[in-house]
Structure 1
């Protein structure tokens, strides 16, 4: 079981995201969708979902 985090300032390799599958999780941190390469990550996330991975969107911390 693997958990990968996509952050605005860092992320795993796209191939690593694509290779995820059943029982793996992708965490999308706040600000990650503003990455210049977000479209490529969306494609990789889609492949991982098809293979059985789960995705969660992390909320912004509240004061």
Structure 2
């Protein structure tokens, strides 16, 4: 469940970055595009991990 929350948060951050880039007051647009690309890759990877069910946390037995 924690991994799915991480995926949802990364998607929300990605959406906020897209809004920041296209806002009329966005400064350093090129840097924001690089940041957007990194956030997209990170969000995609988190969604893939959540879909695959991979958990890096030790199991509590």
Q: Which TM-score applies when normalising by structure 1?
A: 0.37
More strand by share: 1
Q: Which TM-score applies when normalising by structure 2?
A: 0.38
More helix by share: 2
